[in-house]
Amino acid sequence: MKSATQATLLMFSLLGGASSYAAEPIPVRDFFKNPQQANFQISPDGKMVSFTQPFEHRLNIYVQTRGGEPKQVTQVKDRDITQYMWKGNDYLLFLKDNGGDENYHLYAVDKQGSTTRDLTPFDKVRVELIDELEDHPTDVLIGLNKRNPEIFDAYRLNVQTGKLTLVAKNPGKITGWVTDHEGRIRVATSSDGVNTSLLYRKDEKSPFKTVLTTNYTESMEPRLFTFDNKYLYATSNIGRDKSELVVVDPATGKEKEVIYKRADVDVSGVQYSHKRKKLTSVDYIDWKPQRAYLDEETQALYKKLEEKLPGYEVLIGAANKDEDTFVIVAYNDRTRGTRYLYEAKTDQLTKLADVTPWLDEKQMAPMKPIQYTSRDGLTIHGYLTLPLDKEAKNLPVVVNPHGGPWLRDQWGYNPEVQWLANRGYAVLQMNFRGSTGYGKQFWRASFKQWGGTMQDDITDGVNWLVKQGIADPKKICIYGGSYGGYATLAGVTFTPDLYACAVDYVGVSNLFTFLKTIPPYWKQFLDQMHDMVGHPVRDKALLTARSPALHADKIKTPLMVLQGAKDPRVNIAESNQIVDALKKRGVDVQYIVKENEGHGFHNEENRFEAYEAMEKFFGKYLN
């Protein structure tokens, strides 16, 4: 199988008695070291199982016959391998960048591990997977920006020979390619920065024609062709607030029917059976990831699995080509969980591995959904995680706004949250306006509101927690990464008396310089970013008012800053500016820079250093 009820936390449950299970201090490294085994996959013929496991502190790929001994097939020592897949029964493909620059290369290794080859050995070029071409033994379709760093052409790549063949040249505005079930590129999406278009051709010899153009705030995202290759399944919010799963005629761009919709949240994805050529389920997130079944066989399969694994969320992580052998993911908000092999013919479930066996889920804290009302009347959803061994009253708190900002937090295991809760801190996460999944109107409410009403939503969450009696108003810190780092800086700049300390992790500090230093392949969307964040000329006063680096004289909260030197999204200059401005005032800022990292610290030793420093920092101001 492939991928292409808002809950309110009742205050009596928040303010109830402390858990009877005492939270023992767990070493910080236990939360952030690499998993013992993870990323399990199955070869198409079902005979081999693969997974990643640490080798010299880096995740590498291991392969074993079912029931046999594992064999290490890669020896990568600079970066973890976190994205990989089988290609046929003889090769595995994986992605790896250089020190966090996000210029990913595609590598191939044979299942014996005898040879590893860089299939895209091009300097400052990024590869993107278009179609794995599941039914072809050696070929995949990839996108490369080697001709022009701002756009991606489509190539057919033979992983056995390394032969690369151009199959679709990007005329300049194409942002995505879509294949039919025979691997032919027949649909494309394009953007001029403000308007997005759907392009179609009936076959690979015909020219593309534009069949639909909308403003970027209305989207029709192709998911896959119908199984007769005539129409498209897509998620669309055109003419509606919430994205719905629809069928579209690609020759005209017109909707034919709605497959699934919800009144509360967006449809986020669709699953299907490649073998049976059927849609199987629809994905959406209310307070946690959910699925709506479109297929009785799939529903019956999940029912069996959920009965075998009570208390856990269950997902199919991988399957063989016959779709009778599956990797099963079982997890919840207190554990990364366990991976199993399930054989449908015999109804046999076999344990493969616990992902982090050194962490006892009984010592982890439940993540509870909450909601509050913003000062202008919006309902803001979020999550509150309380330490196990403390009464929910007058607690030290870490406020943790998410990155993006056009993403969202969701329920599930989060090592940062569990680490903080284990230290006795309550953790508040909120899906401020602009967070995705709640419909178009909620998303659009964030436009040109960095440091404005988006920040108010965070502040209102803090004040709500204080009003409930849960937070000690003198012991509230804020910590976030990427946009969450910006929100951290905005919090201590524009509400300087609210927070006792702050940690900015690869965050934006100056909206002018941020918009000038985006990666080249984001430049197609620059007009859109100007519309959503602000234009450096037309909105000069707004961007000036909302850039923390330009108001660093207001900051009096103790601050820690973490930054990767090779970050392509948030240039190191963003962190340098805020640190330099504070140091000129004689303010001491703890600043950790890693030369071999990009947008976040991915190497294990860097994670250890960062979180150990953060632990001391939070301890100083919250204990």
Prior bond of 405 cis (ω within 30°): yes
Torsion of CA 298, 299, 304, 308, to 10 degrees: 100
Q: How far is C-alpha 168 from the geometric centre of its chain's CA atoms?
A: 29
User: What are phi and psi for residue 559, nearest 5 degrees?
Assistant: -130, 140
Task: For 53-84, give one letter per residue: b (16+ CB within 10 A) or e.
Answer: bbbeebbbbbbeeeeeeeeebbebeebbbeeb
For this structure, is 509 an active site residue?
no
Task: For 379-406, give one letter per residue: b (16+ CB within 10 A) or e.
Answer: ebbbbbbbbbbbebeebbbbbbbbbbbe
Amino acid letter, residue 528 = Q
8 A C-beta contact, residue 478 and residue 401: yes
Cα Rg of the chain (Å, integer): 24
For the record, the structure tokens of 174 come out as 């194409």
8 A C-beta contact, residue 334 and residue 364: yes
C-alpha dihedral sign at 511, 516, 521, 525? positive
Q: How far is CA 84 from CA 104, 122, 211, in A?
A: 12, 19, 35
**Of 547, 567, 575, 602, catalytic:** 567
C-alpha dihedral sign at 278, 281, 284, 285? negative
- CA end-to-end distance (rounded Å), the chain: 49
Looking at residue 11, the DSSP 8-state letter turns out to be H
**Of 402, 530, 599, 602, catalytic:** 599
User: What are phi and psi for residue 289, nearest 5 degrees?
Assistant: -60, 135
CA atoms within 13 A on the CB side of 57: 11
Beta-bridged to residue 502, according to DSSP, are 478, 559
For the record, the structure tokens of 47 come out as 């005979």
For this structure, is 402 an active site residue?
no
C-alpha dihedral sign at 66, 72, 74, 78? positive
For this structure, is 567 an active site residue?
yes
Q: Alpha helix locations (H) across 438-568? A: 440-444, 453-467, 483-494, 511-516, 526-532, 540-546
The C-alpha atoms of residue 571 and residue 156 are separated, in whole angstroms, by 33
**Of 482, 509, 547, 575, catalytic:** 482
Neighbours of 474 (CB within 10 A): 10
Catalytic positions = 482, 567, 599
